[in-house]
Structure 1
Amino acid sequence: MKFETQRFIVKEAGEDDLEYVMRLERAEENRDFVFQNTYEEHKSNIDSTENMLFIVQDRESSENAAFILCSYKIPYDSFELRRIVIETKCKGTGSELISALFKYSFEVVKANRFWLDVFTDNDRAVHLYKKLGMVHEGTLRQSYKDYSGRYRDQMIFSILNEEYVKR
C-alpha cells in the first residue's frame, strides 16, 4: 500500500490491473478527457522509477474504484498528476483522492510542486482543481490532437509546497 484515505486504499498497480486501467480510460464517459495508453505503455509505467501507476480500492468492498498515474521528476522536485480516472463520479472521490495525493507528494515524496494539465472542456475537473486551491498557470492552445482529429486546449494547474502548507 502507498497511502490511504477515509474511504480508499491506494496501492501500486501490477500487470494484472492493466485491463481495468485500460477499460476505464476507454469508457465512453472518460475517453474524451484522458489519454489512452497502450498495454505496453502502461506496463512501462509499472516498471518505471519515475512513473507511478496506482489502483484505488474501496476500503469496505475491496472493489477497484479508480486509477491514478503520476510521475515525479527528482531533479526538479516536481510531482505531476498525469491521469486520474474514477469509476463512479460525483461522490467526492476526486476531491478525497487528490487531497491525499497532495499529502503524499508534499509530505512523503517531498515535492516542491504538484501540477497537472486538464482539457478546457472538462468542467467538473477544472472546478475541482480550483476548489482544492490549485492555481491556473495558463492554457496550452491546440496542444493535443484527439482521436477524432480535433485540436484540444489544455489548462495547466499547480500548487506549491508553500501554498499547500498554508491551506
Structure 2
Amino acid sequence: MPALGLRRATEADIPFIMETERLPGYELTVGRFEEDEHSNHLADPAWLYLVHPEMGLALLHGVGGREGNLCLRRFIVTKTSNGFGSALLPLVLSHVFNETSTHRLWLHHVKDNTKAARLYARFGFLHEGVEREAGLRPDGSRFDLVNLSILRPEWASRCG
C-alpha cells in the first residue's frame, strides 16, 4: 500500500483530479467541478488541494479562516474497497493538523453513504447532525447530508 506521496496539487494535477472525480458512482456522492473551477480554487489561498497520485485526493476549503474551521469538501479514492481510504485519510488528517492552524475539520456526506460514514467514524469524526434535503443532484433530486467533524484535540489524543 503506497503511503508516501501526499502533496499539494498544482495546475498539472487538474486532469488527474477531474478524472478521479468522474469515476463511476462519485457523481451521486461527491460531485465534480469543471476545469476552470479547479484552476480558480488552486489560485485561491482559502482552498487546499491534496493529491496522492495512486490513492486519490482531498479538496479542502476555508484555510486560514479566523474561526479555524476547515471543510473537507471532497475526499475521493482512485479505487474503492481496497483500503485506499483507510490509508489516505490519516495522511490528510496529519497534513491538516500539522501544517495548518485548523481547529475543527468538518465535512458532509450523503446520508446513505454508509461506507463513508464508517470510514470517517473509524478515524474519529463525530456526528453533528443531518441537513435534510440540503443536497441537490444534477437530475433535480434532493438528498440529506450528514455533518461530521473532528477537533484538533480529538485528533491529537488519537495520535498520542
| TM-score normalised by the chain length of structure 1 | 0.86
Runs of 4+ in structure 1 deviating by more than 3 angstroms, as ranges, are none
Q: Which structure features the higher share of strand residues? A: 1
Q: Please give the root-mean-square deviation of Cα atoms over the aligned residues, in Å.
A: 1.7
1:16 shift after superposition: 2.4
Q: Percent identity?
A: 24
Structure 1 equivalent of residue 97 of structure 2: 106
**Unaligned stretches of 5+ residues in structure 2:** none
Does the 8 Å CA contact 2:50/2:92 hold for their aligned counterparts?
no
Give the total of aligned pairs: 157
1:126 aligns with 2:117: yes
User: Where in structure 2 are the equivalents of 1:63-142 lying within 5 Å?
Assistant: 64-71=54-61, 72-142=63-133
1:152 pairs, out of 138, 143, 154, with 143
| Amino acid corresponding to residue 31 of structure 1 in structure 2 | E
> How far apart are the structure 2 equivalents of 1:122 and 1:8?
28
> How far apart are the structure 2 equivalents of 1:29 and 1:146?
12
> How far apart are the structure 2 equivalents of 1:35 and 1:19?
16
> How far apart are the structure 1 equivalents of 2:156 and 2:42?
30
Does the 8 Å CA contact 2:64/2:101 hold for their aligned counterparts?
no
1:98 shift after superposition: 1.5
**Unaligned stretches of 5+ residues in structure 1:** 58-63
| TM-score normalised by the chain length of structure 2 | 0.90
1:152 shift after superposition: 0.9
1:105 shift after superposition: 1.6
> How far apart are the structure 2 equivalents of 1:135 and 1:19?
33
Does the 8 Å CA contact 2:132/2:144 hold for their aligned counterparts?
yes
